[in-house]
Amino acid sequence: MFRVPIRFIAGFIFLAAIITPANANIPDDCNIPQSLIADIRLMLTAEDNQLFDLWTNEEVFCACAIIYYTDPPDADFHDRVMNSAVIRIGKTGDPRAVAVLIDAIETHPHQALYALGDYRTPEALRALTTRVSDPDGSIRENAAEGLRNMLAPAIIPDGWIDAISDAIAAVDEWLDKEPDWDVKEYFVDAKVNLEDLLKKAQATAGTN
C-alpha cells in the first residue's frame, strides 16, 4: 500500500493554512522556503539566547509574520513562539512590520505597542494613540512608552503632523484622568516628546 510521508502531510497542512483567507494580511512578497520557517520557529521556542543573525532581516520578518498568522494554537510552545514572533517582528525594522504589529495589538498588546514606538509612521502613531485611554493600565503604559520613544523620521510622511497632533490631543485629554502615577509620568514624557516632534515636523514642512 502506498504511504504518504508524515513530513509531507504536515508540510501540506501548514501550507494550506497559509493560503486561507484568514491569513490575507501576510505580505504578498513573503515567499520563503517552508524549511526556513520551521528553523526560525524552532529558534522562537528558546527561552533565551535566541540567535537570529543566521538569517537576513527580511527572512526573519517574513517567517515571523507567517508564524504569527498561521501557528496552530495547539502547536508545541505556541504561546512562547507567538510572544517571541511579535517581539522579533518589531526588531526587524522592516516597514511591513507596522501592519502586522497593529494586528498584534489585539492578541499581544504589550509587545506590539512597545515595538510600534520604533516605527516613525503615522500608522504607528495612530495605533499607539488608540490605546492611550485603554482600561488596562499596563496597556496604557506600553502605549505611553511607545509615544515617548517615537523619533522623528528623516523625511516627513503624509499625515505625520496630523497624527502627532491627534496623539497630543489624546494624551492631553487623558492625562488628568490617569490614576497610576507611574503611568502618568510616562504620559508626561510622551507629551514632551510629541510636542518636540510636532515642532520639528512643522519647521521642516515650513522649509519645503
pLDDT for residue 9 is more than 90: no
pLDDT for 63 equals 97
pTM of the model: 0.85
Torsion angle of the four alpha carbons 83, 88, 94, 98, in this order, in degrees rounded to the nearest 10: 20
pLDDT of residue 206: 63
Domain hosting 77: range is: 9-104
Number of domains in the chain: 2
- Same domain? For 127 and 93 the reply is no
Q: How confident is the model at residue 143 (pLDDT cuts 50, 70, 90)?
A: very high
Confidence (pLDDT) at 24: 67
Contact of 79 with 67, CB cutoff 8 Å: no
pLDDT 10s digits, 69-88: 999 999 999 999 999 999 99
Tell me: do 70 and 40 sit in the same domain.
yes
Note whether residue 110 is domain-resident.
no
Contact 150, 160 (CB under 8 A): no
- Give the per-residue pLDDT at 204: 84
- Residue with more model confidence, 15 or 120: 120
Q: What is the pLDDT of residue 208?
A: 53
67 with 151, same domain: the answer is no
**Mean pLDDT calculated for residue range 56-63:** 96
Listed residues 104, 137, 161: the one ending a domain: 104
Give the whole-angstrom CA distance, residue 97 versus residue 90. 6
Answer yes or no: is 163 within a domain.
yes
Give a yes or no: residue 153 inside a domain: yes
Question: Is 115 a domain residue?
Answer: no
pLDDT band with cut points at 50, 70 and 90 for residue 1: very low
**Among 2-11, 75-84, 145-154, the least confident range:** 2-11
Same domain, 130 and 100: no
Distance CA 49, CA 70 (A): 24
Domain's final residue, options 104, 129, 147: 104
The answer to whether residue 192 is domain-embedded is yes
Residue 100, pLDDT above cutoff 50: yes
Same domain, 58 and 93: yes
- Of the residues 104, 132, 162, which one is the last residue of a structural domain? 104
Whether 97 and 124 share a structural domain = no
* 97 lies in the same domain as 136: no
Examine residue 172 and state whether it is found in any structural domain, yes or no.
yes
